[in-house]
Structure 1
Amino acid sequence: MEAKGRCARGFEAVQQAFEAIFDDPQERGAGLCVQVGGETVVDLWAGVADLEGQKPWERDTLVNTYCAIKPFTAVAALMLVEEGKLELDAPVARYWPEFAQGGKEHITLRQVMSHTSGIPALRLPNRTPIMYGWDDMVEIMAAEPLWWQPGTDLGYGALTYGWIIGELIRRVDGRDPCAFIAENISQPHELEVHMGVADEHFHRIAHFDRAEGRTGDQYALDLREVIVNQPEHVATLAFTNPGVCPKATHDPRWWRYRQPGVNGHGTAHGLAGFYSALLAGQLIGSELLSEFTREHSNSMDRTLLRPMRYGLGCMMEQPADPAASNCMGPNTFGHVGLGGPVSFADPERDVTFGFVTTTMGSHVLMDPRARQLATLAYAAL
């Protein structure tokens, strides 16, 4: 399939590989953006945005990106640290007193951002019926007891991250956290990344769904085995309570949903542009950027069930897991969304990368499609 957009000289192999993705009849639509020094060298899109194959994918087509938006939320919190409204090592309960329930009085913002808070999931009962009510969910979040003592172990907070950091932003700034992110990050830098899509933009949203026959790597298979067979395991509950399966992404309530840890809709150039603005010092100063990209945790993750390495709200290269590599430099940082979407930056080469897709694979971290594209982009530099 021939892609639309543009590709700078020297990056032709990237375009060829992007177009070759669509040799698989399950692939419907995708977008790719690579920027170097803030300048776009690859901006491609192809395919269709609907299930019936009638609606062409456009440059401004929005698609579900799941957790790829977590670094936006982290940077929003760091903006408030820079303003003196939050402190990384202050207890969350200083700003949100109700959060101290269940032994959580000593959890810090830094621990939440580096996934060492000891509160990566909500226990049963199932919270899916009330997941769209922010006040309901933060009340539940405040009452939830610890799984383990803060700072003693690593567990990715797939959903809890968004409620905790989002509520902190709301408490100290007064704005809805997704409004804060839109007004301070996305809109000023013209980034097509939305956390809660306005109704007038619903027509731009692509249909996101799972592909058949894709198994993922062994870590993904092991995680799926736990989710299917151990309903009260912390890993199961981190991803299913409430449920955020692909079917949920077809619901207008999901499109409107303002959960700044798990629910983004965006474009490849919006995601790559975020990291370009970050590297250019346009979002936070150099001191906090260094904190954001410094290793804060590195061990076997009890919810992802694989070795993970985190900064402050970003995933970092993990040498112990080459299959999850961003395929660029050793100091690469960024974030995936479940099943394919990903964006990251390589500060040594001043390169940023964004990939979005309608066709959800089974890899929990770096999808093979994005791995090949990133490898070829790096070779072209």
Structure 2
Amino acid sequence: MTTIHGTNHPAFASVRETFANHIASGVELGAALCVSVNGETVVDLWGGSTTTTSPKPWEHDTVVPVWSLTKLVTALSTLLLIDRKQLDPFAPVTQYWPAFRASQDIEVRHLLSHSSGLSGWDTPPSPAELYDLGLTTAKLITQEPWWTPGSASGYHMLTQGWLLGGLIREVTGQASLSEFIKSELTRPLNVEDGFYLRIPEQEWPRIAELVPPPNFAIPALDPASVAMRTFLSAPLSVASAATAEFRLAEMGASDGFGNARALNKILSVVSLGGVVDGKRFLSPETVELIFQPQVSGVDLVLGEPVTFGVGMALARPLGPEWLPDGRRVGYWTGWGGSLGLMDAERGVTVTYTMNKMADGLRENGQCRDYVAAVYEALEGYLAGL
């Protein structure tokens, strides 16, 4: 019998059952799932194994590469500066970053909505060059955008981290994006040991081993297309996450390590209207800004319909059907299946991390199952309060 650790409110017993079934069937190797409603944790589960080579249980403090869920944390860091009036989302980036010469027409909100036109590098960096933050940043901020800023989204697979991280460093004077995240988010939220950008070497034993997606491949695309140029600008593989260079990097878009519990607390800043554990991180006005659609249509990189707000994708009008309805529902996923869902309509946050990756850049089947189970149970939970 599969042992699932953690707790759940009785109303969410079906969520635990769904999670246990996926671990037992082998669909999951190891995973963690956390759900909070109006600031109360109603699901905090973990189970399975952190490795394929020998049984090593997934523990309460296991962390895993969360790939593009990192973008949500970096975007939230930028939103803190918007809330403090240190950044105007509608101002040109050049107002804050004199070295930024890509275009006077690129506004701060364009960086946050994947619509700046800078989704990759004109000359793709080599794997070694990718970790040279100074070199790659200098190249990116001096090239012409690949499309008219603000006219469409083209998923900034890696470059959003360079752009937002550089902007944060420029505005705050801090040398490190990871230190800003730590001082302004993870430490105040008491999850400093649950999410890392630049994970210290002494924490590496807690990292779960990733199982690569079985059939993932870059699609055959026109070499001159925005999509292919973006893919070629991301010389990373699953194996990269096991290297010291990746673990100690400051990319800010794909190199975070975390667990579902810590990510849930961080992303609850959005779901709870800016206030977590009595501490205000964002004003109601800034939270509302997040849910203002900036671009909506077929993404030039993903090739799928997406609506981006300020800092995250929105569930409606163009989000996948498995997401809950609501104007104030934001989300994003990490390569292989991990999820961050922020439902400010209902005060619900759902976070999921795992180590057995599915094909594709976005959600997996388990992710959809967990969200369905959570929202089926939610009505009964709220009725019992």
Same fold by TM-score, threshold 0.5 exceeded? yes
What is the SS of the residue equivalent to 2:91? coil
Please identify, of 369-378 and 26-35, the stretch whose mean Cα deviation from structure 2 is larger: 26-35
1:285 is aligned, of 280, 283, 286, to 283
Look up the match of 1:239: 231
**Residues 49 and 58 in structure 2, CA contact (< 8 A), matched pair in contact too:** yes
TM-score by length of 2: 0.90
For 1:358, give the aligned amino acid.
Answer: N
Give the drift of 1:319: 4.5
**Residues 268 and 354 in structure 1, CA contact (< 8 A), matched pair in contact too:** yes
Look up the match of 1:140: 139
For 1:194, give the aligned amino acid.
Answer: Y
Look up the match of 1:180: 180
Look up the match of 1:28: 29
What is the SS of the residue equivalent to 2:152? coil
Q: Partners in 2 of 1:129 and 1:26 — Cα distance?
A: 34
For 1:76, give the aligned amino acid.
Answer: S
**Residues 152 and 296 in structure 2, CA contact (< 8 A), matched pair in contact too:** no
Q: Partners in 1 of 2:169 and 2:297 — Cα distance?
A: 31
Q: Partners in 2 of 1:352 and 1:208 — Cα distance?
A: 25
Please identify, of 242-251 and 306-315, the stretch whose mean Cα deviation from structure 2 is larger: 242-251
Matches within 5 A, 1:308-319: 308-319=306-317
**Residues 91 and 105 in structure 1, CA contact (< 8 A), matched pair in contact too:** yes
Give the drift of 1:231: 4.3
Q: Partners in 2 of 1:272 and 1:59 — Cα distance?
A: 14
Matches within 5 A, 1:209-358: 209-212=211-214, 224-226=218-220, 229-278=221-270, 279=272, 280-281=274-275, 282-320=280-318, 322=320, 325-327=322-324, 329=326, 331-358=328-355
Give the drift of 1:376: 0.6
The answer on 1:373 being equivalent to 2:356 is: no
Distance 1:165 1:320, change over 3 A: closer
Q: Which has the higher helix share?
A: 1
**Residues 329 and 343 in structure 2, CA contact (< 8 A), matched pair in contact too:** yes
The answer on 1:196 being equivalent to 2:198 is: yes
**Gaps spanning 5+ residues in structure 1: where?**
216-220
For 1:149, give the aligned amino acid.
Answer: T
**Residues 301 and 308 in structure 1, CA contact (< 8 A), matched pair in contact too:** yes
Matches within 5 A, 1:16-95: 16-25=17-26, 27-95=28-96
**Residues 315 and 333 in structure 1, CA contact (< 8 A), matched pair in contact too:** yes
What is the SS of the residue equivalent to 2:290? helix
What is the SS of the residue equivalent to 1:15? helix
Look up the match of 1:13: 14
Look up the match of 1:218: none
Distance 1:110 1:320, change over 3 A: closer
**Residues 29 and 48 in structure 1, CA contact (< 8 A), matched pair in contact too:** yes
**Residues 296 and 318 in structure 2, CA contact (< 8 A), matched pair in contact too:** no
Q: Partners in 1 of 2:54 and 2:346 — Cα distance?
A: 38
TM-score by length of 1: 0.91
Give the drift of 1:162: 0.7
Distance 1:90 1:277, change over 3 A: closer
Please identify, of 30-39 and 253-262, the stretch whose mean Cα deviation from structure 2 is larger: 253-262
Q: Partners in 2 of 1:50 and 1:328 — Cα distance?
A: 37
For 1:292, give the aligned amino acid.
Answer: I
Distance 1:18 1:328, change over 3 A: farther
Distance 1:331 1:136, change over 3 A: same
Q: Partners in 1 of 2:83 and 2:316 — Cα distance?
A: 28
Q: Partners in 2 of 1:78 and 1:135 — Cα distance?
A: 24
Look up the match of 1:206: 208
Give the drift of 1:79: 1.6
Give the drift of 1:301: 0.5
**Residues 346 and 352 in structure 1, CA contact (< 8 A), matched pair in contact too:** yes
For 1:206, give the aligned amino acid.
Answer: A
Q: What are the Cα deviations for residues 238-271 of structure 1, in whole angstroms up to 9, with x where unaligned? A: 2341312212112122111211122111101111
RMSD: 1.9
For 1:252, give the aligned amino acid.
Answer: A
Q: Partners in 2 of 1:100 and 1:88 — Cα distance?
A: 18
**Residues 235 and 304 in structure 1, CA contact (< 8 A), matched pair in contact too:** yes
Give the drift of 1:372: 0.5
Give the drift of 1:64: 0.6
For 1:128, give the aligned amino acid.
Answer: P
What is the SS of the residue equivalent to 1:302? coil
What is the SS of the residue equivalent to 1:136? helix
Q: Partners in 2 of 1:113 and 1:363 — Cα distance?
A: 23
Look up the match of 2:381: none
Q: Partners in 2 of 1:297 and 1:112 — Cα distance?
A: 12
Q: Partners in 2 of 1:244 and 1:329 — Cα distance?
A: 35
What is the SS of the residue equivalent to 2:199? coil
Look up the match of 1:99: 100
Q: Partners in 2 of 1:318 and 1:346 — Cα distance?
A: 12
**Residues 93 and 106 in structure 1, CA contact (< 8 A), matched pair in contact too:** no
> How many percent identity over aligned positions?
28
For 2:234, give the aligned amino acid.
Answer: P
**Residues 333 and 344 in structure 1, CA contact (< 8 A), matched pair in contact too:** yes
Give the drift of 1:208: 1.4
Distance 1:249 1:230, change over 3 A: farther
**Residues 118 and 140 in structure 2, CA contact (< 8 A), matched pair in contact too:** no
Give the drift of 1:71: 2.1
